[in-house]
Amino acid sequence: MNSLSTSKLPRRIEGLNELAYNLWWSWHTEARELFKVLDRPLWKATGHNPVRLLQQIAPYRLVAAAQDPAFLEKYDSVMGEFKAGMSSDRTWLNKEYPHLAQHSIAYFSLEFAIHNSLPLYAGGLGILAGDYCKEASDLGLPMVSIGFMYPQGYFHQQISVDGWQEDVYHELDFNEAPITRVLTAQGQAVNVEVPLDARPVQVAVWQVNIGRVKLYLLDTNVENNPASDRQLSARLYAGDREMRLQQEIILGIGGVRVLRALGIEPAIWHANEGHTAFMMLERVRELVAKGMDFAKAANKVRATTVFTTHTPVPAGNDVFSLDLMEGYFHRYWGSLGLDRDAFFSLGVQESDNVVFNMTVLGLRMADLRNGVSQLHGGVCRRMWHCLWPDVEEKDVPIGSVTNGVHVPTWLAPQTARLYERHLGHDWLERHDDPALWEHVLDIPDEEIWALRRWLKYKLVSSVQDRSRKRWAEGQVAPVQALATGALLDTETLTLGFCRRFTDYKRAALILHDVDRLKRILQNELQPVQIVFAGKAHPDDERGKQLIQEVYNAAKDPEFGGRIAFVEDYDMHVARYLVHGADVWLNTPQLLQEASGTSGQKAALNGALHLSVLDGWWYEGYNGANGWAIHQDIESPASPDSHREDAEELYNLLEEKIVPLYYERDISGVPHGWIRVIKEAIRSNVPLFSARRMAKEYTEQMYLAAAQANETMRMGASHPPRILDTSHTSNDASETPIPPSASVSTHGTIQIEGSE
pLDDT at 634: 72
161-170, 304-313, 722-731: lowest mean pLDDT where? 722-731
Q: Cα 111 from chain centroid?
A: 9
Going from the C-alpha of 152 to that of each of 21, 39, 48, 231, the distances in angstroms are 20, 28, 19, 10
pLDDT at 498: 94
| Exposure letters 297-317 (e unless 16+ CB within 10 A, then b) | bbbbbbbbbbbbbbbbeeebb
DSSP state of 483: I
| Exposure letters 86-125 (e unless 16+ CB within 10 A, then b) | eeeeebbbeebbebbeebbbbbbbbbbbbbbbbbbbbbbb
Higher pLDDT, 18 or 636: 18
pLDDT at 123: 85
d(C-alpha 434, C-alpha 431), whole Å: 8
Question: Closest by alpha carbon to 112, among 125, 124, 126?
Answer: 126
d(C-alpha 203, C-alpha 597), whole Å: 33
Roughly how many angstroms between the first and final C-alpha of the chain, as a whole number?
42
The per-residue pLDDT for range 387-402, each reduced to its tens digit, is 999 999 999 999 999 9
If DSSP states are collapsed to H, E and C, what string results for 181-202? Answer: ECECCCCCECEEEEEECCEEEE
DSSP state of 522: T
Longest dimension (CA), the chain: 80
Going from the C-alpha of 480 to that of each of 240, 417, 510, 572, 577, the distances in angstroms are 33, 37, 21, 21, 20
Q: Which domains does the chain have, with CATH numbers?
A: 3-87 (no CATH), 463-688 (3.40.50.2000)
Q: 235 - beta bridge partners?
A: 153
263-267, 573-577, 719-723, 747-751: lowest mean pLDDT where? 747-751
The per-residue pLDDT for range 699-726, each reduced to its tens digit, is 999 999 999 999 988 775 444 443 443 3
6 CB neighbour count, 10 Å cutoff: 14
Going from the C-alpha of 710 to that of each of 94, 262, 726, the distances in angstroms are 18, 22, 18
Q: What angle do CA 614, 617, 621 make, to 5 degrees?
A: 125
d(C-alpha 30, C-alpha 77), whole Å: 9
* Residue 754 pLDDT class (50, 70, 90 cuts): very low
pLDDT at 5: 45
435-439, 481-485, 545-549: lowest mean pLDDT where? 481-485
Give the number of C-alpha atoms closer than 13 A to the C-alpha of residue 72, restricted to the C-beta side: 11
Q: 346, exposed or middle or buried, with CB in 10 Å at 0-12, 13-18, 19+? A: buried
The per-residue pLDDT for range 494-532, each reduced to its tens digit, is 999 999 999 999 999 999 999 999 999 999 999 999 999
Does residue 213 surpass a pLDDT of 90? yes
Going from the C-alpha of 703 to that of each of 109, 129, 697, 719, the distances in angstroms are 21, 20, 9, 16
Strands (E), 230-374: 268-272, 305-308, 319-321, 355-357, 368-371
Q: Which residues contact 173 (CB under 8 A, 6 or more apart)?
A: none
d(C-alpha 454, C-alpha 496), whole Å: 16
Strands (E), 251-291: 268-272
pLDDT at 237: 82
Going from the C-alpha of 142 to that of each of 43, 67, 97, 104, 299, the distances in angstroms are 33, 39, 12, 5, 24
- Helix, strand or coil, per DSSP, at residue 611: strand
Question: Closest by alpha carbon to 605, among 416, 435, 444, 441?
Answer: 416
Give me the mean pLDDT over the 185-193 stretch.
91
pLDDT at 635: 67
Q: What φ, ψ does residue 112 adopt, rounded to 5°?
A: -140, 130
d(C-alpha 537, C-alpha 148), whole Å: 19
Which residue type, as a one-letter code, is found at position 188?
Answer: Q
Give me the mean pLDDT over the 87-111 stretch.
93
d(C-alpha 704, C-alpha 718), whole Å: 17
pTM for the predicted model, two decimal places: 0.93
d(C-alpha 432, C-alpha 300), whole Å: 34
pLDDT at 322: 96
d(C-alpha 515, C-alpha 511), whole Å: 9
* Residue 247 pLDDT class (50, 70, 90 cuts): very high
| Exposure letters 142-169 (e unless 16+ CB within 10 A, then b) | bbbbbbbbbbbbbbbbebeeebebebeb
Question: Closest by alpha carbon to 653, among 482, 506, 475, 529?
Answer: 529
Consecutive H or E run containing 495: strand 493-498
The per-residue pLDDT for range 2-19, each reduced to its tens digit, is 444 445 899 999 999 999
174 CB neighbour count, 10 Å cutoff: 14
pLDDT at 35: 98
